Amino acid sequence: MEIYLAPLQGLSDWIFRESFAQHIGKFNKTFSPFIRVQSGDFYRPSQCNDILPQNNTFQKPVPQFLGNDADSFKRFEELCLSHNYQEVNINLGCPFPMVTGKKMGAGLLMYPEIVKDLFENIFSTTQLKISIKCRLGLEKITEFEQLISIFNSFPLEEIILHPRVGKQQYKGEVDLKAFAHYAPLLTHPVCYNGDILTLADVESIRTLVPQVDRIMIGRGMLQNPFLLAEIRNQNLTKKDKEKMLLNFHLSIIEHCKQKYSGDLHMLKRLEELWTYHAQGFEDGHKILKQVKKSKTLAQYQTVIFKAIMDS
């Protein structure tokens, strides 16, 4: 089974991916958080730094595009080609209202005619392999039925499907029955994404849809970085895990020093990671509380090193 790292805005950036690949393990693919392009211009040019070759020396990601017009994609494609990328992903799944309200991300799923027009313009000229990451719809899963024939009409590399609708964001349950129903109707390889937190969750997907041979994991990998090894049946000792996790966090800290100025900016970024990561520790709520109380990088390091050695 192929295992992908999900694009998580503000979390699975190059700092996380580089540190993970170097000290924990490599995924079959990683995906960059989206690069948003509107009317042919980068919404935040700083997002482009995430795919710079010098920031991705251990494993190159698949850059992700967020937009809704061909001119914007062309600008994105030029950026990716300039850095020698051969594959990209189109975001049709972002559920946040500030995105969907502008007919981007999951907001595009209500407008199959716009999706079709976008794809026709992109695929008529693109030099890249293209996959999509999408949901079952914005408001209801029946929206997906209008998109199946469109998706099947274009040479997509794969479809990464998160079986929620956009208005749910990350609340409620994933609709596994809907995923099992729609996946076989797609002519492209389908990757499952959504609420994979444990090895048992992986086994459930394997049982429900045995023909699906790839999964994408986001929050579950932040919570338990060793989930990748567990899925691959790699036996790690407690000492192995301690060493890997310590080096992983040291690497994150060193990369953060390159990106951020001052302890406060770094600590805010590190606190976001521990919001998820602490859930993998028995006394995670206490660790997170101590992380939040840290006023200097030295205090933070003392807290996390103790947490890792005591786990």
Reported confidence tier of residue 33, pLDDT bands at 50, 70, 90: very high
Residues 40 and 174 in one domain: yes
Residues 165 and 267 in one domain: no
Residues 248 and 157 in one domain: no
Q: pLDDT digit string (tens) for 8-20?
A: 999 999 999 999 9
Q: What are phi and psi of 234, to 5 degrees?
A: -90, 125
H-helix or E-strand spanning residue 4: strand 2-5
Return contacts of 231-238, CB within 8 angstroms, 24+ apart.
231/1, 231/3, 231/199, 231/202, 232/3, 232/25, 234/25
Quick check: pTM over 0.85?
yes
- In this structure, are strands 35-38 and 41-42 parallel, antiparallel, or unpaired? antiparallel
Q: Which pLDDT belongs to residue 130?
A: 99
Residue 47 placed within a domain: yes
Residue 174 placed within a domain: yes
Q: Which pLDDT belongs to residue 63?
A: 99
Q: Is residue 304 a contact partner of residue 253, using CB atoms and an 8 Å limit?
A: no
Residue 232 placed within a domain: no
CATH code of the domain containing 38: 3.20.20.70
Q: Which pLDDT belongs to residue 192?
A: 98
The C-alpha atoms of residue 141 and residue 126 are separated, in whole angstroms, by 30
* Percent above pLDDT 70 for the chain: 100
Domain encompassing residue 75:
2-226
Q: pLDDT digit string (tens) for 107-147?
A: 999 999 999 999 999 999 999 999 999 999 999 999 999 99
Residues 156 and 270 in one domain: no
How many structural domains does the chain have? Answer: 2
Q: Is residue 216 a contact partner of residue 2, using CB atoms and an 8 Å limit?
A: no
Residue 249 placed within a domain: yes
Residues 181 and 252 in one domain: no
Residues 134 and 243 in one domain: no
Reported confidence tier of residue 236, pLDDT bands at 50, 70, 90: very high
Residues 71 and 201 in one domain: yes
Residue 308 reports pLDDT greater than 90: yes
Burial 74-110 (b: 16+ CB within 10 A, else e): bbbbebbeeeebebbbbbbbbbeeebbeebbbbbbbb
Residues 204 and 292 in one domain: no
Residue 23 placed within a domain: yes
Q: pLDDT digit string (tens) for 85-100?
A: 999 999 999 999 999 9
Average pLDDT over all residues of the chain: 97
Residue 78 reports pLDDT greater than 90: yes
Residue 268 placed within a domain: yes
Q: What is the mean pLDDT of residues 59-68?
A: 98
Residues 139 and 9 in one domain: yes
Residue 38 reports pLDDT greater than 90: no
Q: What are phi and psi of 4, to 5 degrees?
A: -110, 150
Residues 260 and 204 in one domain: no
Residue 69 reports pLDDT greater than 90: yes
Residue 231 placed within a domain: no
Among 226, 260, 283, which residue terminates a domain?
Answer: 226
Q: Which pLDDT belongs to residue 39?
A: 84
Q: Which pLDDT belongs to residue 272?
A: 96
Residues 140 and 15 in one domain: yes
Residues 178 and 129 in one domain: yes
Among 226, 249, 281, which residue terminates a domain?
Answer: 226
Q: Which pLDDT belongs to residue 311?
A: 85
Q: What is the mean pLDDT of residues 155-164?
A: 99
